[in-house]
Amino acid sequence: GESVGLHLPTLSVQEGDNSIINCAYSNSASDYFIWYKQESGKGPQFIIDIRSNMDKRQGQRVTVLLNKTVKHLSLQIAATQPGDSAVYFCAERPSGGSNYKLTFGKGTLLTVNP
């Protein structure tokens, strides 16, 4: 999985399988987290977000889990499709005075094999 600080990891899955992409964040004061999807040649696209007062949030085919104890965030994609192939990265927002900006992870490249 990725960390807000590591080289770009890769994940290869078969079409129809579930995918889990991980993110470790470093700032225990972060109170808001976002997952983005970036397809080749395009800008990052919002997928799902979660606030620190929650530990799980579900969207359409996606679920984000937040474990504040170990500062870990994950994105689960159900029934992965070829169109899900992209780089996925997490972003965290610190609470307080610096809450105007996001810190982005480097991303995980997801490849879906048909």
Partner 1 sequence: DADVTQTPRNRITKTGKRIMLECSQTKGHDRMYWYRQDPGLGLRLIYYSFDVKDINKGEISDGYSVSRQAQAKFSLSLESAIPNQTALYFCATRGAGSHTDTQYFGPGTRLTVL
What is the binding site for partner 1 (CB under 8 A)? 4, 7-8, 32, 34, 36, 41-46, 49, 89, 93, 99-102, 104-107
Smallest gap, in angstroms, from Cβ of residue 69 to partner 1?
23
Residue with smaller CB distance to partner 1, 43 or 114: 43
Residue with smaller CB distance to partner 1, 44 or 110: 44
Smallest gap, in angstroms, from Cβ of residue 17 to partner 1?
27
Both tokens of 114, joined, read 């048909």
Smallest gap, in angstroms, from Cβ of residue 99 to partner 1?
7
Following DSSP, what letter does each residue of the chain receive, concatenated? -EETTS---EEEEETTS-EEEEEE---TTEEEEEEEEE-TTS--EEEEEEETT-SEEE-SSEEEEEETTTTEEEEEESS--GGG-EEEEEEEEESGGGTT--EE---EEEEEE-
Residue with smaller CB distance to partner 1, 42 or 83: 42
